[in-house]
Chains A and B, each alone.
Chain A
Amino acid sequence: MDVKKLGASLHQYERRVLPELAHALSVKELVAKTGLKEVEVVRALQWLENKKAIVVSTKPQEWVFLEKNGEEYAENGLPERRFLTVLQEKPLPVGKLAEKTGLNREEVNICLGLLRQRGFILLLKEKELSAKITDSGRKSLQGPFSEELLLQKKFPVELAGLSAAERKVVDELRKRKSMVRVDTQVIKRAELTEVGKKLLEAGVRDDNIIDALTPQILVSGQWKNKSFRRFDVTSPVPNVSFGKKQPYRAFLDQVRQKFVALGFQEMDGPVVETEFWNMDALFMPQFHSARDIHDAYYIKEPKAGKLDESIIKRVKSAHETGGDTGSTGWQYVFDVERAKKHVLRSQDTAISPRTLASKDLKIPGKYFQMVRCFRHDVIDATHLPDFNQVGGFVIEEQMTFRHLTGLLKMFAQEFAQTKEIKLVPGYFPFTEPSVELYAKHPQLGWIELGGAGMFRPELVKPLVGRHVQVCAWGLGVDRLGMFNLGLKDIRSLFSSDIDFLRKSRVM
Chain B
Amino acid sequence: MPSITFSFDDLCLLVGKRLSEAELTHLLDYAKAELDSKFGSEITVKYNDTNQPYLWCVEGLARLLKGVLGRQKGLAKITLKKSAAKIIVDKRVRKLRPYIAGFIAKGVKLDDYLLKQLVQMQEKLSSNFGRKRAKISIGTYPLNALEFPVHYKLADPLEKFIPLSFHHSVSLREVLDKHEKGKEFGHLLKAESGYPVLVDAKKDILSLIPIINSEQSGRLVVGDDSFFFEVTGTDERAVNLVANSAAFACFERGFELHSLVVEYPERKIVTPTLTTTRMKFKEVEVEKLLGIKLKAGQLKSLLEGLRYGYANGTAVIPSYRHDVMHAVDIVEDAAIMYGYGNFEAAPLTSFTVGNIKPMQRMIDTFRELWVGAGYQEVLSPVLINKELLYGKMHVPDKGTVELENFVSMTYSCVRSWVLPILLEILSKNKHVEYPQKIFEQGVVTLRAPDLHDEEHIAGVSAHSLATFTEGKQVVQSILQSVGALVEFEEFELGCFIPGRAANVLVNGTHIGFLGEIHPQVLDEFGLSTPVVATELNLSKLHEIIKK
Query: What is A's interface to B at a CB cutoff of 8 Å?
Result: 241-246, 248-249, 253, 256, 259-268, 270-272, 287-289, 293-294, 297-302, 305, 322, 325-332, 342, 344, 362, 364-366, 372, 374, 376-379, 384-386, 394, 396, 399-403, 405-410, 422-427, 429, 432-436, 454, 456-458, 469, 493-494, 496-499, 501-502
* Contact B379–A494 (Cβ < 8 Å): yes
* Contact B335–A265 (Cβ < 8 Å): no
> Within 8 Å CB of A331, what residues of B?
237
With contacts A299-B404, A327-B325, A498-B436 taken as known, whether A401 is within 8 angstroms of B383 at the C-beta atoms is no
* Contact A326–B382 (Cβ < 8 Å): no
User: How many Å lie between the Cα of A330 and that of B323 in the bound state?
Assistant: 9
Q: How far is the CB of B150 from chain A (nearest CB, A)?
A: 28
* Contact A496–B380 (Cβ < 8 Å): yes
Q: CB of B288 within 8 A of chain A?
A: yes
User: How many Å lie between the Cα of A396 and that of B349 in the bound state?
Assistant: 10
User: How many Å lie between the Cα of A372 and that of B380 in the bound state?
Assistant: 11
User: How many Å lie between the Cα of A454 and that of B335 in the bound state?
Assistant: 12
Q: How far is the CB of B164 from chain A (nearest CB, A)?
A: 27
The number of residues on chain B lying at the interface, defined by a beta carbon within 8 Å of a beta carbon of chain A, is: 86
Q: How far is the CB of A176 from chain B (nearest CB, A)?
A: 47
Can you report 28 residue pairs joining A to B where beta carbons are below 8 Å apart?
A243-B376, A248-B379, A263-B354, A271-B414, A294-B405, A299-B403, A300-B404, A305-B451, A374-B383, A376-B407, A384-B381, A386-B383, A399-B348, A402-B291, A403-B347, A405-B340, A408-B345, A422-B341, A426-B32, A427-B48, A432-B329, A433-B289, A433-B290, A433-B331, A497-B428, A498-B436, A499-B432, A501-B378
Q: How far is the CB of B70 from chain A (nearest CB, A)?
A: 18
* Contact B408–A379 (Cβ < 8 Å): yes
Q: CB of B191 within 8 A of chain A?
A: no
* Contact B376–A498 (Cβ < 8 Å): yes
User: How many Å lie between the Cα of A407 and that of B347 in the bound state?
Assistant: 7
Residues 344-368 of chain B: 1 if any A CB is under 8 Å from the residue's CB, otherwise 0? 1111101111111101100010010
* Contact A326–B405 (Cβ < 8 Å): no
* Contact B411–A379 (Cβ < 8 Å): yes
* Contact A256–B356 (Cβ < 8 Å): yes
* Contact A424–B453 (Cβ < 8 Å): no
* Contact B414–A344 (Cβ < 8 Å): yes
> Within 8 Å CB of B327, what residues of A?
326
Q: How far is the CB of B386 from chain A (nearest CB, A)?
A: 11
Q: How far is the CB of B431 from chain A (nearest CB, A)?
A: 8
* Contact B328–A297 (Cβ < 8 Å): no
* Contact B326–A301 (Cβ < 8 Å): no
* Contact A249–B356 (Cβ < 8 Å): no
* Contact B376–A244 (Cβ < 8 Å): yes
Q: How far is the CB of A112 from chain B (nearest CB, A)?
A: 58
Considering only residues 431-458 of chain B, those with a C-beta below 8 Å from chain A are 432-433, 435-438, 443, 445, 447, 451-453
Contact of A454 among B131, B289, B357 (CB under 8 A): B289
> Within 8 Å CB of A241, what residues of B?
376, 433, 435
Q: How far is the CB of A363 from chain B (nearest CB, A)?
A: 9
> Within 8 Å CB of B257, what residues of A?
none
Q: How far is the CB of B288 from chain A (nearest CB, A)?
A: 7
User: How many Å lie between the Cα of A425 and that of B29 in the bound state?
Assistant: 6
Q: CB of B373 within 8 A of chain A?
A: yes
Q: CB of B391 within 8 A of chain A?
A: no
* Contact B350–A364 (Cβ < 8 Å): yes
Known contacts A259-B354, A385-B381, A499-B429, then 10 further A-B pairs from the complex at CB < 8 Å, ordered by chain A residue: A243-B371, A249-B367, A322-B326, A328-B325, A402-B290, A406-B345, A433-B340, A456-B326, A496-B428, A501-B376
Q: CB of B185 within 8 A of chain A?
A: no
Q: CB of B390 within 8 A of chain A?
A: no
* Contact B335–A433 (Cβ < 8 Å): yes
* Contact B355–A401 (Cβ < 8 Å): no
* Contact A496–B351 (Cβ < 8 Å): no
* Contact B326–A264 (Cβ < 8 Å): no
* Contact B340–A260 (Cβ < 8 Å): no
User: How many Å lie between the Cα of A248 and that of B377 in the bound state?
Assistant: 10
* Contact A263–B377 (Cβ < 8 Å): no
User: How many Å lie between the Cα of A202 and that of B248 in the bound state?
Assistant: 102
Q: CB of B111 within 8 A of chain A?
A: no
Residues 445-486 of chain B: 1 if any A CB is under 8 Å from the residue's CB, otherwise 0? 101000111000000000000000000000000000000000
Q: CB of B40 within 8 A of chain A?
A: no
Considering only residues 383-424 of chain B, those with a C-beta below 8 Å from chain A are 383, 401-408, 411, 414, 424
Q: CB of B336 within 8 A of chain A?
A: yes
Query: What is B's interface to A at a CB cutoff of 8 Å?
Result: 29-30, 32, 48-51, 128, 131, 135, 235, 237, 288-292, 325-329, 331-332, 335-336, 340-341, 343-348, 350-357, 359-360, 364, 367, 370-383, 401-408, 411, 414, 424-425, 428-429, 432-433, 435-438, 443, 445, 447, 451-453
Q: How far is the CB of B534 from chain A (nearest CB, A)?
A: 15
Q: How far is the CB of B436 from chain A (nearest CB, A)?
A: 6
* Contact A271–B345 (Cβ < 8 Å): no
* Contact B407–A378 (Cβ < 8 Å): yes
> Within 8 Å CB of B445, what residues of A?
270-272
* Contact B354–A469 (Cβ < 8 Å): no
* Contact A402–B345 (Cβ < 8 Å): yes
* Contact B447–A302 (Cβ < 8 Å): yes
* Contact B343–A401 (Cβ < 8 Å): yes
* Contact B432–A394 (Cβ < 8 Å): no
* Contact A366–B354 (Cβ < 8 Å): yes
* Contact B326–A432 (Cβ < 8 Å): yes
Q: How far is the CB of B112 from chain A (nearest CB, A)?
A: 31
With contacts A401-B335, A405-B343 taken as known, whether A427 is within 8 angstroms of B406 at the C-beta atoms is no
> Within 8 Å CB of A322, what residues of B?
325-326
> Within 8 Å CB of A299, what residues of B?
401-404, 414
Nearest first, the 8 closest Cβ-Cβ pairs linking A and B are: A400-B291, A427-B49, A364-B350, A433-B332, A402-B291, A260-B354, A423-B340, A243-B371
* Contact B353–A265 (Cβ < 8 Å): yes
> Within 8 Å CB of B407, what residues of A?
376-379
User: How many Å lie between the Cα of A261 and that of B356 in the bound state?
Assistant: 10
> Within 8 Å CB of A409, what residues of B?
345
User: How many Å lie between the Cα of A248 and that of B442 in the bound state?
Assistant: 13
With contacts A242-B374, A427-B50 taken as known, whether A400 is within 8 angstroms of B352 at the C-beta atoms is no
User: How many Å lie between the Cα of A422 and that of B379 in the bound state?
Assistant: 33
Q: How far is the CB of B352 from chain A (nearest CB, A)?
A: 4
User: How many Å lie between the Cα of A439 and that of B481 in the bound state?
Assistant: 44
> Within 8 Å CB of B404, what residues of A?
297-300
User: How many Å lie between the Cα of A64 and that of B510 in the bound state?
Assistant: 72
User: How many Å lie between the Cα of A271 and that of B355 in the bound state?
Assistant: 21
User: How many Å lie between the Cα of A384 and that of B383 in the bound state?
Assistant: 10
Least CB separation from A364: chain B residue: B350
* Contact A263–B351 (Cβ < 8 Å): yes
> Within 8 Å CB of A498, what residues of B?
376, 378, 425, 429, 432, 436, 438
Q: How far is the CB of A446 from chain B (nearest CB, A)?
A: 12
Contact of A249 among B48, B351, B377, B438 (CB under 8 A): B377
> Within 8 Å CB of B30, what residues of A?
425
> Within 8 Å CB of A262, what residues of B?
354
Q: How far is the CB of A322 from chain B (nearest CB, A)?
A: 7
* Contact A264–B376 (Cβ < 8 Å): no
> Within 8 Å CB of B359, what residues of A?
268
Q: How far is the CB of B126 from chain A (nearest CB, A)?
A: 14
* Contact B377–A434 (Cβ < 8 Å): no
> Within 8 Å CB of B345, what residues of A?
402, 405-406, 408-409
Q: How far is the CB of A64 from chain B (nearest CB, A)?
A: 41
> Within 8 Å CB of B352, what residues of A?
263-265, 362, 364-366
* Contact A386–B381 (Cβ < 8 Å): yes
Least CB separation from A298: chain B residue: B404
* Contact A407–B348 (Cβ < 8 Å): yes
Least CB separation from B402: chain A residue: A300
User: How many Å lie between the Cα of A367 and that of B382 in the bound state?
Assistant: 25
With contacts A378-B407, A427-B49 taken as known, whether A403 is within 8 angstroms of B291 at the C-beta atoms is yes
> Within 8 Å CB of B372, what residues of A?
243
> Within 8 Å CB of B292, what residues of A?
402
> Within 8 Å CB of B403, what residues of A?
297-300, 344
User: How many Å lie between the Cα of A165 and that of B383 in the bound state?
Assistant: 80
